[in-house]
Amino acid sequence: MKVKRDDGVEDIQAVWMEDEGETVKMIDQRFLPSELKFYSAENYEEIYRAIKEMMVRGAPAIGVTAAYGIAQAEIQGEDVEEASERIRSARPTAYDLFHAVDHMLDNLERPCKSAEKYTGSVIERCREIGENGAELIKEGTNILTHCNAGALATVDFGTALAPMRIADRDGKDMHIYVDETRPRLQGARLTAWELYNEDISHSVIVDNASGHFMQRGEIDMVMVGTDRIVANGDIANKIGTYEKAVLAKENDIPFYVAAPVTTYDDSTERGKDILIENREDEEVKEINGNMITPEESDVENPAFDVTPVDYITGYITEKGIFSPSELKNMF
């Protein structure tokens, strides 16, 4: 991931290990875009906190952080089973978290090497997603994306943003509509920050404007990431994704989901069976510590919604681009 600094441009990963696994460092995404700050996790409890409090977020990046946390627990002589259960409990919806923990429990002989190998595989899968998805992007394409599915969410490259990065590298002209993604504003804060640092043309729009731009013919495709794909092809992604999919279908706009195959959960049959995380009232009631609702008002704050398979045009994976029927057959 390219980051513009006062002294030039630097390549930075969203999360990495130092000190032979004793320390896990990450970009603290709560402070972006105003400040580039880093958080150091010294034990698995601090890894749990980093995931729970969304210092790190995005399914693949959460998975990598979890893998590092299990490696760290093993190196420090902690109870690895206890550490794994604690880390699993941090975010219930993102499937990569559970996949990463299971992977590490099966590969603890050389914990640092196993975690780094897992991280390398995540980065490579995202690069391949970018190569495959870039084929969909033609000269002059206008793309709507929701939430943040870039390098910050995946360690490097991204899922939904990876095809845009590769298309930009290949010299294709395009424009990205970035909806703000309330309540935590991951689009306005994080996706826009990534695109700015990559010099990719983009506009930030309010969440409620996407239908307006679709209706006017100013959006050619929608491209999002996902935290989980279940057996029938339904997906769980950031709250508001379902609305984008419905609007896209109404306006005959293709709707693509970009994700590594590790996001596929064949143990869950339908989207309605996915456990949806509900988060704190303050995320809705406050912005930057300023109250925007009456204190007495009740809040409902689901972090994700489910988009049924019928609204999905295709899935962009490291193995290729698949229609819903092809996805089922592949797995």
Nearest to 224 by CA among 141, 314, 302, 303: 314
What one-letter code names the amino acid at 319? K
Please give the structure tokens belonging to residue 49: 């906190």
Intra-chain end-to-end CA distance of the chain, in Å: 31
Alpha carbon distance 218, 143 (integer Å):
9
Read off φ and ψ for residue 151, nearest 5 degrees.
-60, -35
188 DSSP 8-state letter: I
Q: How far apart are CA 61 and CA 222, in angstroms?
A: 22
Place of tokens 């030039």: 8
Pairing between β-strand 314-317 and β-strand 255-258 as defined by DSSP bridges: parallel
Residue 114: partners with Cβ closer than 8 Å, 6 or more residues away: 67, 71, 103, 104, 107, 108
Q: Which of 179, 227, 265, 305 is catalytic?
A: 227
Catalytic (active site) residue 156: no
**Inter-axis angle of helices 111-133 and 161-169, nearest 10:** 70
- The number of residues making up the chain comes to 331
How many C-beta neighbours within 10 Å does residue 183 have? 21
* Token duo for residue 325: 């029927």
Please state, in angstroms and rounded to a whole number, the distance separating the CA atoms of residues 262 and 181: 25
Q: How far is CA 97 from CA 11, 35, 92, in A?
A: 25, 27, 8
Give catalytic residues, as residue numbers: 227
